[in-house]
A = this chain, B = another copy of it.
Amino acid sequence: MANSRSGDSVIDRLVRVLATFDRDERVLTPTEIARRAELPASTAHRLVGDLTAAGLLERDEEGGYRVGLRLWELATRGSRALGLREAAIPPMERVQARVRQHTQLAVLDGDETLFVERLSHPEAVGNIAQIAGRLPLHASSSGLVLLAFAPADVVERVVAGALPALGPETITDAAALRRKLAEVRRLGYAVAPGSIEAVATGIAVPVREGRDGIAALGVVLPRDAGDPLRVATVLAAGAHEIAEALAAQRSRSMG
């Protein structure tokens, strides 16, 4: 059994193993993990054993493995996602009570939109955004808001990069994206009809801390549902409540 030559390569492999699991593949065999992580079977088996011993993976009755609650606990307890979602859940519930479709909260992470919370009505319109899921920044109203209030270097990287079409009306042209971002800054909200699903419209507003945007609060509605400005007003009130709750958290933690 070969030893790892340095700690960082173990961490890289650990990330590759953990990244093989997702919402649709919550239980995997060691062989599936090895294939999806592109690791030799012996390496994957050994790492799965070590991760299971540490509680980071759990073995089920049929011999499959899943992400362990211990890992979720370690990752959640100190995470800014936890503080953010605690501040956001009550305002999101108030927004959701009005829109009764999808209400979601996203942050900018690694030049992508990372969704940290979502409330969904059981009969809501289709929405591919998922908790702990990612989307490209240009492809949703939440991402457009995050990008509009992001540092200039992030904007330049995204505008210069690939702008794949995720739906019939995704903005895929750099100049059109710049114009859209200027519009979002001017209006204070983003509307993205058909950016992902032809039948749905995303509307999002920034959660601001001073001049910075620290998150995007958004909804996904059926294409024909109501006046975007009216929805944006409901969202802006929610975003303001989230910002106030975050400020209260910070003053408590410093007190």
Contact = CB atoms under 8 A, between A and B. Distances in A.
A70 B11 contact: no
Q: Which of A47, A69, A107, A114 has the most CB of B within 10 A?
A: A69
Contacts of A81: 69, 72
B114 A11 contact: no
A225 interface: no
Given A54-B15, A109-B69, A132 B76 contact: yes
Contacts of A66: 78-80
A35 to B, nearest CB: 16
A32 B95 CA distance: 40
Contacts of A109: 69-70, 73
A51 interface: yes
Interface residues of A, number: 62
Contacts of A19: 74
Q: Which of A15, A107, A132, A134 has the most CB of B within 10 A?
A: A132
Contacts of A3: 3-7
Nearest to A19: B74
Contact of A4 (B7, B75, B82, B110): B7
A228 to B, nearest CB: 26
A14 B25 CA distance: 25
Contact of A10 (B10, B69, B83, B90): B10
Contacts of A116: 69, 72
A21 B110 contact: no
A73 B22 contact: no
Contacts of A153: none
Nearest to A133: B77
A2 to B, nearest CB: 10
User: Lowest 10 A-B CB distances belong to which pairs?
Assistant: A21-B78, A75-B75, A76-B132, A8-B50, A67-B78, A18-B74, A10-B10, A77-B132, A71-B75, A72-B79
13 contacts: A4-B4, A7-B47, A7-B50, A8-B53, A11-B56, A15-B55, A19-B74, A23-B77, A66-B80, A67-B74, A67-B80, A71-B79, A73-B134
